[in-house]
């Protein structure tokens, strides 16, 4: 309690120093600056589409050590158990499910506008009290969005509460863990947010954003657009890979036609199938008449989904060395299988087609990246074949 | 004769009782003097030393700005004083008997002066300023495992410093200067997409 | 006095008269009310049958008075034939759950009359001042 009181006192002082007006003005400025980065039409049908979701999930990848990194929460105890192999395999499956849950993407929705909805006007009730009354329905089992919250104004009109009041009341009676009743200073002071971004604390800012704001709020859109724009300049995309924010980020870039930097990063890191997925996502969003579906299905047949890959990684500790141990060893040494080489060839063709088209903006850079990757791939392929020959393994 | 003897005896006893701590505290004071000599900011302090041969080491009326403190934490003087350890690791509480009292002392500084022989790690070094901008110092008091502020039974901070520490940490988190693991928020997609999904079906 | 849980621990007879009423909590100069269902004959600080809401009569920083109502349970108890205390009935009337209570109309009318009288008084005062000057 003492701490809270002190904090409130300090916050109060700061607010006084700054002036509420100024902060409001700065918010309005930020909104104007990011006006070009708003979703101009409802992104929901495209985002929730099953194919888009699959593409985004595949792009996000599933790196177990990143998803289950050690978190600094008050209780981060671990449990050690003895298990049979069957139990362990079951546990692995559950782990993958848990990881998928942790990678749930924040929904991408349009900004919700406040609509006035008056229930009744009673002029005979004018001046019945000197303040408003806010009534919240706390019936058990209701969801926050379907809870009825009404306001009786001092002039006697009864209306549904505006969004801001709704959020406040929901937070008051049904608090969301981690959300503050006041706006954190990180989001009110531009310089503090800028400092966070300059220090590349993207995940922290986005995590906080998801907790503090609802996805349909204008602030959520403005701040996330700001973070993604900064990220596009600093090119530290790997920080968000395998977090819940990678999908919305890729979707944002595809929507606003600035996928080239992300594409370059993917090619450089040898995530070619992700690059193909990103390109097809942007084709899909902008309805470019390029048939990407057969290529995607080909790739899907060759490449396992992130969940399958993670499961295989978990199960690999159980497997005993099989009869084709040498082949396996060669594959691990090079990091690629024959299927991967085949998939790379298909995706490289598709990417080059994209670079050649009018949609690519940073053609030279992308071409160079593709060229270097091709050379490296060729070397790897030669090495792979040479090793196979040397060990006398039949080409399967 | 008698009072003098008592004084000598008393000081001797004090030295033997907390010889290790006294040594460390002395090194802190020395390090601080070096810091004062190195930094230009506390120039008035050094002038004072020149004018007044023995400045009162227990005087805490002179408030050190945070910027100086941040610079001090990066300086060589800090390094020689504390090495690579946290500012509280070398500190030991003095207490009667086997078990330390549940709570640490209320405050080390009364009326602008250190009122105790064994001030807490923050109070003994006036260049350690608790402020939300001084993240390097605050990080030393945050557990790397749970992300919480360490207890005063571990760090030995006096109650007043501990309160100031918790406030500063909370402020720093609010400003985003210290990152922490934000609680996971699970979205119920039907809450955002529910109606459209139903219409589709 | 420790608080009883929202579901309440108050014992009651099946056919005794129940009432939806306020219980004043908070402290001196800081009222806070729970809206509860309890036996009519009981003192407000006795254990309640169920808590169905809360009411904070002091306006908050955005100049609102906050009321929380468990409408489902209120309707249930009203259906069971529970009585209403007058302040509770007024509050539910303002909320739009029940018809507006006549007393609310009366206070509104009185407030308007007082305000009109005050403005009229101020107007006459200013005219007098002008006349004397």
In a domain, A123, yes or no: yes
Q: In angstroms, rounded to a whole number, what is the distance separating the alpha carbons of residues A297 and A300?
A: 5
Residue-wise pLDDT tens digits, A156-166: 999 999 999 99
Token representation of residue C119: 């403005």
Q: What is the pLDDT of residues A51-87, one digit of tens each?
A: 999 999 999 999 999 999 988 888 888 899 999 999 9
Q: Do A252 and A283 form a contact (C-beta atoms < 8 A)?
A: no
Name the token pair of B13.
């006893």
Bigger pLDDT: A74 vs A392? A74
Q: What is the pLDDT of residue B107?
A: 95
Say if residue C2 is in the same domain as residue C15.
Answer: yes
For residues A384 and A328, the answer to whether their CB atoms sit within 8 Å is no
Domain count, chain C: 2
- Please give the pLDDT value at position A152: 95
Chains A and B touch (3+ CB pairs under 8 A): yes
Residue B83 maps to a domain = yes
Residue A15's pLDDT band (cuts 50, 70, 90): very low
Residues linked to residue C30 through DSSP beta bridges, in sequence order = C27
Question: Average of pLDDT values for B63-88?
Answer: 94
**Domain count along chain A:** 1
Classify residue A143: in a domain, yes or no: yes
Structure tokens at B48: 């004072």
Task: Give pLDDT tens digits for C16-59.
Answer: 999 999 999 999 999 999 999 999 999 999 999 999 999 999 99
Q: What pLDDT score was predicted for residue B12?
A: 41
Give me the residue from A119, A139, A172 closest to C70, CB to CB: A139
**pLDDT tier for residue B56 given thresholds of 50, 70 and 90:** confident
With contact defined as beta carbons under 8 Å apart, do A280 and A251 qualify? no
Q: What percent of chain B has pLDDT over 70?
A: 70
Collect all residues of chain A within an 8 Å Cβ-Cβ radius of residue B144. Answer: 72
> Which of A139-143, A341-345, A370-374, B51-55 is predicted with the least confidence, judged by mean pLDDT?
B51-55
pLDDT score at B25 = 53
How many of the other CB atoms lie within 10 Å of CB of A106? 21
Residue A3 has pLDDT above 60, yes or no: no
pLDDT at C133: 66
Structurally, how many domains does chain B consist of?
1
Judge: C67–A125 Cβ closer than 8 Å, yes or no.
no
Residue B187 to residue C7: CA distance in whole angstroms:
29
* Range name among A121-130, A279-288, A384-393, B109-118 with the lowest pLDDT average: A384-393
Q: Tokens standing for A124?
A: 């005979």
CA atoms within 13 A on the CB side of C115: 11
Whether pTM > 0.95 for this model: the answer is: no
Q: Above 50 in pLDDT, residue B45?
A: no
Q: Are residues C89 and C70 in the same domain?
A: yes
Task: Name chain A contacts of C115, Cβ cutoff 8 Å.
Answer: 127
- Chain A residue numbers with beta carbons less than 8 Å from the beta carbon of C68 are 135-136, 138, 173
Q: C13 and C36: one domain?
A: yes
C-alpha B171/C-alpha A309 separation (Å) is 42
**B78-to-B21, B66, B73, B84, C57 alpha-carbon distances in Å:** 17, 15, 6, 9, 56
- What average pLDDT score do residues A6-13 get? 54
The pLDDT of residue C126 is: 83
Q: Provide the residue range defining the domain that includes B47.
A: 2-184
**Residue B195 domain flag:** no
Tokens of A231: 């990220």
Eight-class DSSP state of B149: B
Decide if A222 contacts A31 (C-beta within 8 A): yes
On whether both C115 and C69 belong to a single domain, the answer is no
Taking the C-alpha atoms of residue A171 and residue A187, their distance in angstroms, rounded to an integer, is 18
How confident is the prediction for chain C on average, in pLDDT? 91
The single residue listed with the structure tokens 């509770």 is C88
CATH number at residue B36: 4.10.640.10
At A25 the pLDDT is 44
Q: What is the largest CA-CA distance in chain B?
A: 102
What value does the mean pLDDT take over residues A209-238? 93
Q: Is residue B138 part of a domain?
A: yes
Give me the mean pLDDT over the C68-95 stretch: 95
Please judge whether C115 and A134 are an interchain contact, meaning their C-beta atoms are less than 8 angstroms apart. Answer: no
Tell me, yes or no, whether C82 and C110 share the same domain.
no
pLDDT recorded at residue B15:
43
Alpha-carbon separation of residue B88 from A279, B32, B39, B68, B159 (angstroms)? 54, 16, 24, 20, 15
* Confidence at A359, pLDDT banded by 50, 70, 90: confident
- Residue B117 domain flag: yes
Cα distances from A190 to residues A38, A224, B51, C113, in angstroms, run 19, 14, 46, 50
Contact (CB, 8 A) for C51 and C78:
no
Taking an 8 Å cut-off on Cβ atoms, the answer to whether A204 and B182 are in contact is yes
Q: What local confidence, expressed as pLDDT, does residue A16 receive?
A: 41
Residue B148 · residue B121 · CB < 8 Å: no
CB under 8 Å, gap of 24 or more: what pairs does A217-224 form?
A217/A111, A217/A112, A217/A163, A218/A31, A218/A111, A219/A27, A219/A187, A221/A34, A221/A37, A221/A38, A221/A39, A221/A111, A222/A30, A222/A31, A222/A34, A223/A187, A223/A193, A224/A248, A224/A252
pLDDT attached to residue A299? 86
pLDDT value of position A300:
85
pLDDT of residue B85: 94
Mean pLDDT in residue range A128-149: 93
Using an 8 Å CB-CB cutoff, list residues of chain A that contact chain B: 2-3, 6-7, 10, 44-45, 48, 71-76, 101-102, 104, 106-107, 109, 143-145, 176-178, 180, 184-186, 189, 192-193, 195-196, 201, 204-205, 207-208, 210-211, 215-216
Classify residue A102: in a domain, yes or no: no
Measured in angstroms, the CA of A268 and the nearest CA of chain C are apart by: 53
Lowest-pLDDT choice from A32-36, B55-59, B159-163: A32-36
H-assigned helices in A287-362: 293-302, 306-315, 325-334, 338-356
Helices and strands in chain C: count of H runs, count of E runs = 3, 5
- pLDDT at residue A21, as a whole number: 42
What ipTM does this complex have?
A: 0.91
Q: Between B35 and C60, whose confidence is greater?
A: C60
Asked whether residue B51 carries a pLDDT value surpassing 60, the answer given is: no
Task: State the chains in contact with A (3 or more Cβ–Cβ pairs under 8 Å).
Answer: B, C
Within this chain, do residues C50 and C69 fall inside the same structural domain, yes or no?
A: yes
Instruction: Give me the mean pLDDT over the C76-92 stretch.
Output: 95
The confidence band for A393, taking pLDDT boundaries of 50, 70 and 90, is confident
Pairing verdict, β A118-121 and A132-137:
unpaired
CA distance B179 to B142: 11
- Residue B95 is predicted with a pLDDT of 92
C1: domain CATH number is 3.30.1320.10
pLDDT at A22 over 50: no
Distance CA A339, CA A303 (A): 8
Residue B184: per-residue pLDDT: 93
Residue C104, helix vs strand vs coil: helix
Tokens of B32: 């601080």
Residue of higher predicted confidence among A317 and C22? C22
Spatial distance between the Cα atoms of B65 and B67, rounded to a whole number of angstroms: 6
Comparing CB atoms, the residue among C59, C71, C111 nearest residue A128 is: C111
Residue of A44, A73, A201 with shortest CB distance to B179: A201
Cα distances (angstroms) measured from residue B86 to each of A154, B137, B163: 58, 9, 19
Which phi-psi region, left, alpha or beta, contains residue A141 (left: φ > 0; alpha: ψ -120 to 50)?
left
Give the separation between CA C75 and CA C69, rounded to whole angstroms.
11
Residue B197 within any structural domain of the chain: no
In Å, how far from its chain's centre is CA B8?
Answer: 32
Structure tokens at A204: 């922290």
Chain C interface disruption, residue of A136, A149, A159, A165, most C CBs within 10 A: A136
Which chain A residues have any C-beta within 8 angstroms of a chain C C-beta? 119-120, 122, 124-129, 131-140, 148, 150-152, 156, 158, 165, 168-169, 172-173
Please give the residue of chain A at the shortest CA–CA distance from B187: A106
Residue A153 domain-assigned?
Answer: yes
For the record, the structure tokens of A300 come out as: 């899907």
Shortest Cα distance, chain A CAs vs residue B143, angstroms: 8
- Nearest Cα neighbor of A310 from A145, A93, A19, A142 is A93
Kindly tell me if the per-residue pLDDT of B37 is higher than 50: no
Beta-strand runs (E) in chain B: 109-110, 113-114
The per-residue pLDDT for B1 is 38
**Confidence (pLDDT) at B29:** 53
Q: Contact B188/B154 with Cβ under 8 angstroms? A: no
Give me the domain span that covers residue C14: 1-100
Kindly report, residue by residue over B76-110, the tens digit of the pLDDT: 999 999 999 999 999 999 999 999 999 999 999 99
B107 domain-assigned:
yes
Say yes or no to pLDDT of A283 above 60. yes
Query: Can you give the residue range of the structural domain that contains A147?
Result: 118-161
Residue among C29, C114, A188 nearest B176 (CA): A188
A145 within 8 A of A84, measured Cβ to Cβ: no
Contact between A236 and A208 (Cβ < 8 Å): no
How close A11 gets to chain B, by Cα (Å)?
9
């Amino acid at each position: 309690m003492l701490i809270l009181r002190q904090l409130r006192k300090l916050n109060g002082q700061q607010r006084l120093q700054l002036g509420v007006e100024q902060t409001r003005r700065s918010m309005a400025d930020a909104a104007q600056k990011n006006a070009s980065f708003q979703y101009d039409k409802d992104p929901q049908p495209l985002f929730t589409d099953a194919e888009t979701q699959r593409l985004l999930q595949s792009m996000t990848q599933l790196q177990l050590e990143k998803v289950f990194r050690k978190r600094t929460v008050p209780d981060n105890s671990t449990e050690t158990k003895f298990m049979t192999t069957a139990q362990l395999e079951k546990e692995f499956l559950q782990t993958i499910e848990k990881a998928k849950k942790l990678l749930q993407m924040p929904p991408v929705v349009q900004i919700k506008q406040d609509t006035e909805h008056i229930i009744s006007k009673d002029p005979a009730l004018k001046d019945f009290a000197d303040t408003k009354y806010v009534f919240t329905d706390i019936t058990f089992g209701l969801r926050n969005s379907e809870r009825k919250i009404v306001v009786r104004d001092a002039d006697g009109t009864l209306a549904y509460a505006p969004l801001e009041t709704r959020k406040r009341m929901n937070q008051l009676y049904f608090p969301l863990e981690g959300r503050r009743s006041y706006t954190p200073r990180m989001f009110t002071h531009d310089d503090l947010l800028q400092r966070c971004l300059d220090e590349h604390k993207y995940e922290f800012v986005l995590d906080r954003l998801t907790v503090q704001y609802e996805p349909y709020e204008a602030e959520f859109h403005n701040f996330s657009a700001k973070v993604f724009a900064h990220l596009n300049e600093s090119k530290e995309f790997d920080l968000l890979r395998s977090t819940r924010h990678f999908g919305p980020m890729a979707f944002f870039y595809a929507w606003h036609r600035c996928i080239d930097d992300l594409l370059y990063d993917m090619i450089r890191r040898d995530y070619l199938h992700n690059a193909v997925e990103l390109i097809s996502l942007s084709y899909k969003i902008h309805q470019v008449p390029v048939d990407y579906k057969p290529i995607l299905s080909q790739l899907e047949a060759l490449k396992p989904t992130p969940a399958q890959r993670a499961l295989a990684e978990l199960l690999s500790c159980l497997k005993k060395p099989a009869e084709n141990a040498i082949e396996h060893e060669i594959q691990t040494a090079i990091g690629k299988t024959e299927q991967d080489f085949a998939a790379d060839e298909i995706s490289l063709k598709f990417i080059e087609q994209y670079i050649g088209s009018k949609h690519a903006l940073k053609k030279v850079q992308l071409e160079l990246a593709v060229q270097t990757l091709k050379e490296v791939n060729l070397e790897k392929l030669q090495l792979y074949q040479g090793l196979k020959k040397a060990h006398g393994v039949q080409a399967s | 004769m008698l009072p003098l003897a008592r004084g000598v005896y008393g000081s001797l006893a004090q030295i033997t009782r907390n010889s290790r701590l006294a040594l460390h505290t002395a090194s802190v004071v020395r390090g601080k003097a070096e810091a004062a000599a190195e930094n230009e900011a506390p120039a008035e302090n050094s002038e004072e030393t020149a004018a007044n041969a023995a400045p009162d080491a227990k005087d805490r009326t002179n408030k050190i700005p945070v910027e100086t403190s941040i610079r001090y934490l990066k300086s060589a003087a800090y390094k020689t004083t504390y090495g690579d350890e946290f500012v509280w690791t070398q500190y030991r509480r003095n207490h009667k008997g086997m078990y330390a009292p549940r709570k640490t002392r209320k405050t080390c500084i009364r009326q602008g002066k250190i009122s105790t022989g064994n001030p807490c790690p923050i109070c003994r070094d006036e260049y350690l300023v608790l402020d939300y901008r001084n993240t390097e110092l605050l990080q030393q008091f945050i557990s790397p495992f749970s992300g919480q502020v360490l207890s005063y039974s571990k760090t030995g901070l006096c109650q007043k410093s501990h309160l100031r520490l918790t406030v500063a940490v909370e402020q720093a988190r609010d400003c985003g200067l210290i990152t922490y693991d934000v609680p996971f928020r699970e979205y119920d997609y039907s809450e955002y997409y529910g109606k459209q999904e139903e219409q589709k079906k | 006095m420790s608080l009883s849980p929202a579901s309440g621990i108050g014992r009651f007879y099946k056919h005794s008269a129940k009432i939806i009423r306020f219980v004043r909590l908070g402290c001196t100069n800081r009222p806070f009310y729970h809206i509860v269902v309890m036996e009519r004959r009981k003192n407000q600080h006795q254990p309640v049958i169920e808590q169905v809401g809360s009411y904070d009569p002091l306006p908050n920083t955005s100049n609102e008075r906050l009321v929380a109502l468990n409408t489902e349970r209120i309707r249930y108890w009203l259906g069971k034939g529970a009585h209403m205390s007058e302040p509770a009935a007024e509050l539910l009337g303002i909320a739009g759950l029940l018809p507006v209570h006549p007393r609310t109309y009366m206070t509104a009318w009185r407030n308007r009359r007082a305000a009109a009288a005050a403005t009229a008084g101020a107007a006459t005062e200013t005219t007098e001042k002008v006349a004397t000057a």
